[in-house]
Amino acid sequence: MADKKIILTPEAREQLEKEYRDLIDVQRPDVIEKLSLARSQGDLSENADYDAARDRQAQIESRIAQIEEILNNAVSAEEAGLGANSKKIGIGDVVEFEEVATGEKATVRIVGQVGADPFAVPPTISNESPIGLALIGSEPGKTAWVESQERYEIRILSSERK
């Protein structure tokens, strides 16, 4: 991930920054306090509280490093040429499309590599997913091919900037 730029929507960047601050300001000090308390209980070889606190500390430090890596390699959708200044479908757009063969319609919001959530309303998909790749750079009224296990064609019905 070191050389690869990660495209983030403003919302995804804000969410990562908020999580980062929580890890640094709240969770890290809490686990350090728990480690100190567990150490004060004596023998660490059979101290379940100490082992649990060390495991949690490792998880927190790993997530902090992961977020720092993402933020250090992040660019906005506009910087990547996929944002609001483009007339083509880009990051942040809500797109309605239909599968040509079945007529099945779907609406999705395209986000960067971070922030995809299939349970959101509308579902958010990564710009690097098969559907995201097919939609990015296209326009309403056009068709595009989704390259997945079974290649299929979609028709883009509408696109709205968010």
pLDDT one-digit tens code per residue, 41-87? 776 667 788 888 999 999 999 999 999 999 998 887 676 665 555 67
- Return the pLDDT at 82: 56
d(CA 127, CA 95): 12
C-beta neighbour count of 102 within 10 angstroms? 8
Q: What integer best gives the mean pLDDT of the chain?
A: 88
Token pair 């690869």 in the structure block, residue:
4
More confident: 83 or 100: 100
- Return the pLDDT at 1: 43
Mean pLDDT of 104-117: 91
**Domain boundaries, given as residue ranges, for the chain:** 6-76, 94-160
> Helix 10-22 crosses helix 48-72 at what angle (to 10 degrees)?
150
Joined tokens for residue 139: 């326009």
pLDDT tens readout for residues 113-132 = 888 899 999 999 999 999 99
Which parts of 23-115 fold into alpha helices (H)? Answer: 28-39, 48-72
Amino acid making up residue 3: D
Class of domain 6-76: mainly alpha
Mean pLDDT of 135-161: 94
Residue 91 has pLDDT above 80, yes or no: yes
- Return the pLDDT at 46: 72
Check whether domain 94-160 has CATH 3.10.50.30, yes or no: yes
